[in-house]
């Protein structure tokens, strides 16, 4: 079959789909991945046929900020619902202009699009393909359904497909979060299909920094704010001040475009890098301190590692809430991240056995979830049946 994957140009939106894309290519399917031009080269370097479509993430972010000028006055936990239209809906309108004709010419049998990549469903609709939504973290709770439907409606009305939002919400949703991290209440999507999350793809060229690979200990605290929020003022500094005198090595990643020098001189126990392959680093960690991005959070729980979560925006507040409710994390909200608070939380996470027990329980749930090959087989059968009917 021909399978098209479509995602917004952000690492946290694309990387969760790559294990399924890799499995599809390994199984002999023709695979293409569509995203913005800023990440198309990144995917091409990983061996995928890549389509550069729509705006860059920076362009979409600027448009979102212009549409929401008073966002700084809104509690950060509300940003997720507010972002859906101005950030993801607006970019989908532009992406569809490039994506739909290319999909119609390529004629995919199945389109896999991530949760807020609304152009993918139009591409499937116009090319006659089956489509599924691929989760990128904790599944959206029921109250977000209205915001998703509204944003999709504004996109799909332009393509004369007013019934498509209901179809998307009823189509299979590949849920990569273990059951203990599901929000309470009804989910936003009707047809939830469990899919095991993976802690990251390891490429043949991936290496740990020499200074890290040479260390004999696996007693590491990994500190990251992901690929977007690593410039949050004062957070790295407070965390390092709280962690650096603990009996752990600390590995800090400041982002591919970040400057390690801005954190100043550090003791030998602290290693500051722009980027470290997460899948190689996590097996060496005892603690993860992060913004609560889904990729970092689920990757750490795939290894049974307790976490200190410092949510900054978007879905990170939901991630922090469910992880803390599961007993596998402590969350510090914006404005409360001080050296003393970080130190106290880290000591609890390392010293109280309940956090490790809860994190390992999440790892067991992840390991018991169907993997990409099983889910791909089921999707292929369903899409193949639809293909034979058209």
Q: How confident is the model at residue 389 (pLDDT cuts 50, 70, 90)?
A: very low
Give 353: exposed, middle or buried? Use CB within 10 Å, 0-12, 13-18, 19+.
exposed
Report the DSSP beta bridge partners of residue 191: 172
- Picking from 254, 289, 290, the residue whose alpha carbon sits closest to that of residue 274 is 254
Q: Judge whether 203 lies within some domain.
A: no
Q: Is the pTM of this model over 0.85?
A: yes
| 156 and 283 in a common domain | no
Q: Say if residue 160 is in the same domain as residue 243.
A: no
Q: Both 151 and 178 in a single domain?
A: yes
On whether both 303 and 354 belong to a single domain, the answer is yes
Q: Are residues 323 and 377 in the same domain?
A: no
Whether 57 and 128 map to the same domain: the answer is yes
What Rg value do the Cα atoms of the chain yield, rounded? 21
Residue 131 counted as domain residue: yes
> Is the domain of 162 the same as that of 226?
no
334 and 381 share one domain: no
Instruction: Render pLDDT for 54-83 as a digit per residue (tens, 0 to 9).
Output: 999 889 888 888 887 776 677 766 766 777
Number of domains into which the chain is organized: 2
Run of H or E including 278: helix 278-281
Predicted pLDDT of residue 388: 47
CATH number at residue 291: 3.40.50.2000
User: Residue 61: its pLDDT value, please?
Assistant: 82
Q: What is the pLDDT of residue 210?
A: 84
Kindly state whether residue 202 falls inside one of the protein's structural domains.
no
The verdict on 278 and 245 lying in the same domain is yes
Same domain, 139 and 278: no
| Residue 390: pLDDT over 60 | no
Give a three-class secondary structure readout of 228-271. Answer: CCCCCCCHHHHHHHHHCCCCCEEEEECCCCCCHHHHCCCCCCEE
Q: Answer whether residue 204 is part of any domain.
A: no
Q: Show the domain range for 165.
A: 2-197+370-389
Same domain, 356 and 381: no
Same domain, 86 and 151: yes
């Amino acid at each position: 079959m021909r399978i098209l994957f479509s995602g917004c140009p952000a690492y946290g939106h694309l990387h969760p789909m790559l294990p399924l894309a890799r499995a599809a290519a390994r199984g002999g399917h023709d695979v293409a991945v569509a995203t913005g031009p800023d990440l198309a080269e990144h995917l091409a370097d990983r061996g995928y046929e890549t389509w550069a479509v729509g705006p860059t993430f920076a362009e979409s972010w600027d448009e979102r900020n212009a549409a929401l000028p008073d966002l700084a006055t809104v509690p950060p936990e509300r940003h997720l619902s507010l972002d859906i239209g101005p950030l993801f809906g607006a970019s989908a309108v532009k992406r569809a202009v490039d994506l739909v004709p290319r999909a119609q010419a390529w004629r995919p049998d199945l389109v896999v699009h991530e949760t807020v990549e609304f152009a993918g469903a139009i591409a499937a609709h116009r090319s006659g393909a089956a489509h599924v939504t691929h989760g990128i973290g904790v599944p959206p709770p029921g109250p977000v359904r209205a915001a998703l439907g509204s944003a999709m409606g504004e996109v799909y009305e332009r393509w004369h497909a007013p019934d498509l939002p209901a179809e998307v919400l009823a189509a299979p949703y590949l849920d990569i979060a273990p059951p203990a991290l599901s929000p309470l209440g009804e989910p936003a999507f009707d047809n939830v299909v469990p899919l095991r999350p993976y802690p990251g793809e390891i490429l043949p060229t991936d290496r740990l920094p020499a200074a890290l690979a040479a260390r004999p200990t696996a007693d590491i605290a990994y500190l990251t704010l992901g690929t977007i929020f690593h410039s949050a003022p004062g957070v790295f500094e407070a965390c390092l001040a709280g962690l650096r005198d603990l009996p752990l090595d600390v590995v800090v990643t400041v982002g591919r475009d970040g400057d390690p020098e801005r954190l100043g001189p550090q003791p030998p126990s602290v290693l500051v890098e722009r980027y470290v392959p997460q899948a190689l680093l996590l097996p060496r960690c005892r603690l993860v301190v992060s913004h609560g991005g889904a990729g970092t959070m689920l990757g750490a729980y795939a290894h049974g590692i307790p976490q200190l979560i410092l949510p900054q925006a978007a879905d990170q507040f939901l991630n922090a809430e469910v992880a803390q409710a599961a007993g596998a994390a402590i969350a510090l909200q914006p404005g409360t991240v001080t050296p003393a608070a970080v130190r106290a939380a880290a000591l609890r996470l390392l010293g109280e056995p309940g956090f490790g027990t809860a994190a390992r329980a999440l790892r067991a749930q992840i390991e018991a979830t169907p993997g990409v090959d099983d889910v791909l087989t089921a999707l292929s059968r369903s899409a193949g049946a639809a293909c034979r009917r058209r």
